[in-house]
């Protein structure tokens, strides 16, 4: 199943996205976001996500919102072998964990806004993101994926000059609008193996990232397990799993986002997340 949060007449609705692209409202979705439904106990959530034969069709012009507004966004750095090679660093021995602020979240079609007083080196990062479905605390690798509700696409937009000058990553990763999410969440059962997915970034139609989640240093299951040993992951939290080669900061010469650019980040079988860029 594939779910999105959409805006209809100024109100959010959770909708199932059908194979033909049509939107059908879920039983508990009017006035709610997917975060609201995922936060419910699994039995209540399953009931709320039902559409059934009488599900209400939503207008084709309904505006896609970010499917979730997570309380916590956990990021993982240097988690693709091809990205490790292009950065010239050694592969990490344990996952490199950082955080992004929820205020950075935007949805499909929303603009990535760059304040040149803060940063002039803004980079793209396509990422597969796991949506936590049940509370995970100190879970083993074998059981870790049982706690994942589904997966979505995230562009981990990064202010490289801020990131590297600060000596830690939170501010450079958390500027407002620097966490596009969407276009939908695909349930874990529907998506299948998260370690066998292609992912891409295109800037103005030109492919700049093209890789596979098989390149991950640490799998999704290993990341959920590792993080849950240190802090609790709650339903609706987002776990970003790293980006592959092709970031602008490591190009020759380096290439950063500019006013008028359009960035498309895509993960196989999930969808395309498209965002324009505006320099303020």
- Reported as a single tens digit per residue, the pLDDT across 38-67 is 999 999 999 999 986 667 788 877 899 999
CATH class of 73-279: alpha beta
Q: Average pLDDT of 146-171?
A: 95
- Indicate the range of 7-16, 153-162, 200-209 predicted with least confidence: 7-16
Indicate left, alpha or beta for 139 from its phi (over 0: left) and psi (-120 to 50: alpha).
Answer: beta
Check if the beta carbon of residue 224 is closer than 8 Å to that of residue 148. Answer: yes
Of 246, 232, 242, 256, give the one whose Cα is nearest residue 119.
256
Of 253, 267, 250, 203, give the one whose Cα is nearest residue 85.
250
Residue 44 CB partners (closer than 8 Å, separation 6+): none
Interatomic CA distance for residues 125 and 96, integer angstroms? 16
Q: What is the pLDDT of residues 86-125, one digit of tens each?
A: 777 888 999 999 999 999 999 999 999 999 999 999 999 9
Domain boundaries defined on the chain: 2-64, 73-279
Give the predicted TM-score (pTM) of the model. Answer: 0.95
Interatomic CA distance for residues 146 and 233, integer angstroms? 13
Check if the beta carbon of residue 132 is closer than 8 Å to that of residue 233. Answer: yes
Check if the beta carbon of residue 224 is closer than 8 Å to that of residue 233. Answer: yes
Could you count the other beta carbons within 10 Å of the beta carbon of residue 31?
10
Of 60, 80, 76, 220, give the one whose Cα is nearest residue 139.
220
pLDDT band at 173 (very low <50, low <70, confident <90, very high): very high
**How open is the CA angle 113-116-117, to the nearest 5 degrees?**
120
């Amino acid at each position: 199943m594939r779910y999105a949060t959409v805006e209809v007449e100024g109100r959010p609705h959770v909708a199932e996205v059908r194979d033909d692209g049509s939107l059908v409202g879920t039983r508990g979705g009017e006035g709610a976001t997917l975060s609201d439904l995922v936060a419910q106990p699994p039995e209540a959530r399953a009931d709320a996500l039902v559409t059934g034969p009488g599900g209400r069709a939503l207008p084709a012009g309904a505006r896609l919102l970010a499917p979730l507004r997570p309380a916590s966004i956990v990021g993982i750095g240097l988690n693709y072998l091809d990205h490790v090679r292009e950065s010239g660093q050694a592969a990490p021995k344990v996952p490199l964990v950082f955080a992004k602020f929820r205020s950075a979240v935007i949805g499909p079609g929303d603009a990535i806004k760059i304040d040149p007083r803060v940063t002039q080196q803004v980079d793209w990062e396509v990422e597969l993101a796991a949506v936590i479905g049940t509370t995970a605390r100190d879970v083993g690798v074998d059981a870790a994926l049982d706690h994942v509700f589904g997966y979505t696409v995230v562009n981990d937009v990064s202010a490289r000059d801020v990131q590297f000058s600060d000596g830690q990553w939170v501010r450079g990763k958390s500027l407002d609008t620097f966490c596009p999410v969407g276009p939908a969440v695909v349930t874990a059962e529907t998506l299948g193996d998260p370690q066998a997915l292609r992912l891409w970034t295109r800037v103005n139609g030109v492919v700049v990232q093209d890789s596979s989640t098989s390149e991950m240093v640490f799998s999704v299951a290993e990341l959920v397990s590792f993080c849950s040993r240190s802090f609790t992951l709650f339903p609706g939290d987002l776990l970003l799993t790293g980006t592959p080669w092709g970031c602008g900061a490591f190009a020759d010469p380096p290439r950063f986002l500019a006013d008028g650019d359009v960035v498309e980040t895509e993960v196989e079988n999930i969808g395309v997340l498209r965002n324009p860029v505006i320099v303020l």
